[in-house]
A and B are shown apart, each in its own frame.
Chain A
Amino acid sequence: MSETQAINTDATQVGGTGKVMIDVVNMDKFFGDFQALKNINMKVGEQEVVVVIGPSGSGKSTLIRCINRLERHDRGSIVVDGVELSDDIKAIQNIRRETGMVFQSFNLFPHLSVLDNITLAPRNVRNIPKAEAEATAMELLERVKIPDQARKFPGQMSGGQQQRVAIARSLAMKPKVILFDEPTSALDPEMIKEVLDTMKDLATEGMTMICVTHEMGFAREVADRVVFMADGEIVEVGTPEHFFTNPQEERTRLFLSQIL
């Protein structure tokens, strides 16, 4: 609690089981001349939950979108579960299979039923037989607590239900990591809890997760580490407790005072 304590910006000390799941080294990302990410170094351990926070435009989405190659990084390296991301499309697809993603705007497929939304990728990418894929899908819907919605279409459901379907959809591929990009930001307050509860269950079950979210209650409960980003850089890293009690950097304090 002394003022001389150094600010920790090292996001490479892995937690979880200690096995490195995601390894980002000296990574830069440009949009034209604009540098969106500056020299990012970050490791995520197996079964670890990392929460990324930061002001709008700080590069949080860009960071996790680089991890499954929705954006192409320009310098440095990204290794996911031992496979390095390059321009090799096969490697990219292999990484994407192991990496689920949940979006702020759900991005469910509006023309497919909930069941088809969930079974499409397992059947198409993993060649799982239809019956088996549907059985798995029903189990997953059970797990996110909406088994009765299987035949519905996304447009017929509430936002919270849609986001839970989206989580079930990413789980159907049996991923090793799930990336969450502000999964509750587009939801009405009364639906946020049901989605966060689902995410907490996942964390308890040992899923490796990177969550961009400003739900500090969620972070406090399940995050192993919180990473604070600003202007494309990692500014401060610590436990949730650290951020609640003892944030060091001025920008961190300012940001926290706005969201807490």
Chain B
Amino acid sequence: MAERAATYLGDDITAALAVDSTPPSSKLSPGDWAKTNLFSSAANTIVTAIVAVAAGLLAFFALRWIINADFAIIRANLRIFMIGQFPREELWRPWASGYVMILGAGLTAGAMARNSHELALSQELESVKEGWGQLLRRFWPIIAASIFFVSFARTVMPYIGLAAAYVLVVVAREVGWRLPAAIRERALFIGVALFIVAMLVIAGTSRLGGYALGLVAFLWALSELSRVESLPTGFAGTAVRFVVALVVAAIVAIVQNLIPHDGFGWEDWGGLHISLFTTVIGITLGMPFGILLALGRKSNLPVLKTASVIFIEFIRGVPLISLLLFSNLMLPLFLPIDFERPADLTLAIIVVTGFSAAYIAEIVRGGLQAVPKGQTEAAQASGMSAAAVQRFIVLPQALRAVIPAMVGQFIALFKDTSLLSIIGLLEFLRVSDTSNAQQEFVGKGLASVTYLFVAIGYWAFAYTMSKESRRLEAKLGVGHR
């Protein structure tokens, strides 16, 4: 409904998220467990033995390799791996930006967890606040990887910085949990706004930043106004809402522009930072576009339908690399001469957004088809308009059905950001090559060290996403339907 602007998913999902879905662990002693699982039959015993020997050998060689490996290359390049070519005197920016982001994430996560918790309680479902132990288990790959990364630091600063980050997460989550209900309901807006502010801390205030913050303010104002029931209904009410929201957006954008804060242009961003950054942008922008494309593909208007189909099928029909190259080499040729060439990262973000939108569109289409016809009919029979039927009945059910597939797409997108190196961006994987080309390390055959380091980075985030997706699946399987 209108006042629940933040979620398309419906209350039963929100509540289900708070219900513990972990199956009760079996109470076997280690000996019994081994007996039933490892040595239950002759065949099983042989398999266990073979795998054990192989694992032992692997561990032995891995350990010997690690002991002999020279990690100096990581130590020398840690900063580049993380954030690219940031000058030392600008280092405060990524740190400050990271803290703002962590603050936003912690607040939002805490507030939303509390919302789910309250809702579950109101439905008489069992719900307890998630303990820190559980959170540790959920996010251990990222936590472990961050500690692993910092362990290569040559100064004490990063250690302190990381410790402070974790303290901030804990505090922010607790604060978010305790916020008053009225603020908690708007947590998503706060989270998104803080995310953009975090970006602006690095990039500086700009017209683009104004648009981004203005958009958030616009959506927020719209959702606030939709709660006001004294406004006239129909076209007049809609017009009033839009105008007021636009004014709010304009004020926010202008205030943002007035703040004098020079930035560090994002042509020079790099490392794990842009890998994560493009993924997050690709997901958050690709989602709404993807949903619109999926609806467009189902539309009765031939123009809309054809345009959606062409876009989706074209993007899905060619490799991401070719799209990146096209945007980088060809697109500027089509632009007017006096048009300032957009930064590589800007082009990359546009391509990645379009790319993920096309894939998300196909996933959503599957979900739309899975919604039973009776749902649409029941809604139509009550006199709802076609748009309202989609908005309130079809989309919420379609989207929930495709959450796992969607997360799979996000993971793929994250790994695909390694292709950004093709157009000269210094993303995470590319740093491995550039550091091996440095004078002191060239020809020393250290690529295996840097690749291992990078692999651990990718794995930590991809595996966490995959774990979270399975957790979500288990939760949504609880109770209803």
A interface residues (Cβ-Cβ under 8 A, vs B) = 68, 70, 93-94, 96-97, 99-101, 103, 105, 107-113, 116, 120-121, 123-125, 127, 129-130, 151-156, 166, 169-170, 173
Q: In this complex, what residue of B is CB-closest to A179? A: B381
Beta-carbon contact of A101 and B378 below 8 Å: yes
Q: In this complex, what residue of B is CB-closest to A155? A: B480
CA A2 – CA B10 in complex, angstroms? 62
* Residue B375 interfacial (CB < 8 Å): yes
In the complex, chain B residues 401-439 whose Cβ is within 8 Å of any chain A Cβ:
none
Besides A111-B12, A170-B382, 18 new A-B residue pairs in contact (Cβ under 8 A), listed by A number? A96-B382, A97-B382, A100-B382, A101-B378, A101-B381, A109-B375, A109-B397, A112-B11, A120-B382, A121-B379, A121-B384, A124-B388, A130-B229, A153-B11, A153-B479, A153-B480, A155-B481, A173-B382
Q: In this complex, what residue of B is CB-closest to A112? A: B10
In the complex, chain B residues 254-308 whose Cβ is within 8 Å of any chain A Cβ:
none
Beta-carbon contact of A151 and B122 below 8 Å: yes
Q: Which residues of B contact A70 (CB under 8 A)?
A: 377, 380-381
Q: Which residues of A contact B380 (CB under 8 A)?
A: 70, 96
Instruction: Tell me what chain B mostly uses at the interface: helix, strand, loop, or mixed.
Output: helix
* Residue B75 interfacial (CB < 8 Å): no
Instruction: Give which listed residue, B123, B229, B382, B481, contacts A169 with CB less than 8 A.
Output: B382
Instruction: Give which listed residue, A103, A125, A173, contacts B377 with CB less than 8 A.
Output: A103
Beta-carbon contact of B382 and A121 below 8 Å: yes
Q: In this complex, what residue of A is CB-closest to B9? A: A111
* Residue B52 interfacial (CB < 8 Å): no
Beta-carbon contact of A96 and B381 below 8 Å: yes
Q: Which residues of B contact A112 (CB under 8 A)?
A: 10-11
The answer to whether A107 and B378 touch (CB under 8 A), given A97-B383, A116-B11, is: yes
* Residue B13 interfacial (CB < 8 Å): yes
Q: Which residues of A contact B381 (CB under 8 A)?
A: 68, 70, 96, 99-101, 170
* Residue B400 interfacial (CB < 8 Å): yes
The answer to whether A127 and B377 touch (CB under 8 A), given A111-B13, A116-B1, is: no
Q: In this complex, what residue of A is CB-closest to B12? A: A153
CA A243 – CA B61 in complex, angstroms? 89
Q: Which residues of A contact B374 (CB under 8 A)?
A: 103, 105, 107
Q: Which residues of A contact B382 (CB under 8 A)?
A: 96-97, 100-101, 120-121, 125, 169-170, 173
Q: In this complex, what residue of A is CB-closest to B15? A: A153
Beta-carbon contact of B1 and A123 below 8 Å: yes
Instruction: Give which listed residue, B122, B392, B479, contacts A120 with CB less than 8 A.
Output: B392
CA A127 – CA B481 in complex, angstroms? 30
Residue with the highest number of chain A CB atoms closer than 10 Å, among B10, B13, B234: B10
Q: How far in angstroms is the closest Cβ of chain B from A63?
A: 15
Beta-carbon contact of A173 and B383 below 8 Å: yes
The answer to whether A111 and B383 touch (CB under 8 A), given A127-B233, A151-B122, A156-B479, is: no
Instruction: Give which listed residue, B233, B392, B480, contacts A156 with CB less than 8 A.
Output: B480
What 3 pairs between A and B have smallest CB-CB spacing? A111-B10, A155-B480, A121-B382
CA A96 – CA B386 in complex, angstroms? 13
Q: How far in angstroms is the closest Cβ of chain B from A205?
A: 20
CA A81 – CA B259 in complex, angstroms? 62
CA A153 – CA B374 in complex, angstroms? 17
Q: In this complex, what residue of A is CB-closest to B388? A: A124
Q: Which residues of A contact B26 (CB under 8 A)?
A: none
* Residue B385 interfacial (CB < 8 Å): yes
Q: In this complex, what residue of A is CB-closest to B399? A: A111
* Residue B347 interfacial (CB < 8 Å): no
Instruction: Give which listed residue, A111, A116, A173, contacts B400 with CB less than 8 A.
Output: A111
Q: Which residues of B contact A101 (CB under 8 A)?
A: 377-378, 381-382
* Residue B474 interfacial (CB < 8 Å): no
Beta-carbon contact of A93 and B12 below 8 Å: no
In the complex, chain B residues 201-252 whose Cβ is within 8 Å of any chain A Cβ:
229, 233-234
Q: In this complex, what residue of B is CB-closest to A101? A: B381
Q: Which residues of B contact A99 (CB under 8 A)?
A: 381
Q: How far in angstroms is the closest Cβ of chain A from B269?
A: 40
Q: How far in angstroms is the closest Cβ of chain B from A218?
A: 22
Q: How far in angstroms is the closest Cβ of chain B from A147?
A: 16
In the complex, chain B residues 94-132 whose Cβ is within 8 Å of any chain A Cβ:
122-123
* Residue B175 interfacial (CB < 8 Å): no
Beta-carbon contact of A129 and B122 below 8 Å: no
CA A99 – CA B1 in complex, angstroms? 23
CA A99 – CA B380 in complex, angstroms? 11
CA A96 – CA B383 in complex, angstroms? 5
CA A111 – CA B4 in complex, angstroms? 13
Q: In this complex, what residue of B is CB-closest to A70? A: B377
Beta-carbon contact of A155 and B479 below 8 Å: yes
Q: In this complex, what residue of B is CB-closest to A119? A: B1
CA A116 – CA B12 in complex, angstroms? 11
The answer to whether A113 and B233 touch (CB under 8 A), given A103-B377, A124-B384, A125-B382, is: no
Pull 5 A–B residue pairs with CB atoms less than 8 Å apart, ordered by A.
A101-B382, A109-B375, A127-B234, A129-B229, A155-B479
Beta-carbon contact of B12 and A124 below 8 Å: no
CA A156 – CA B479 in complex, angstroms? 7
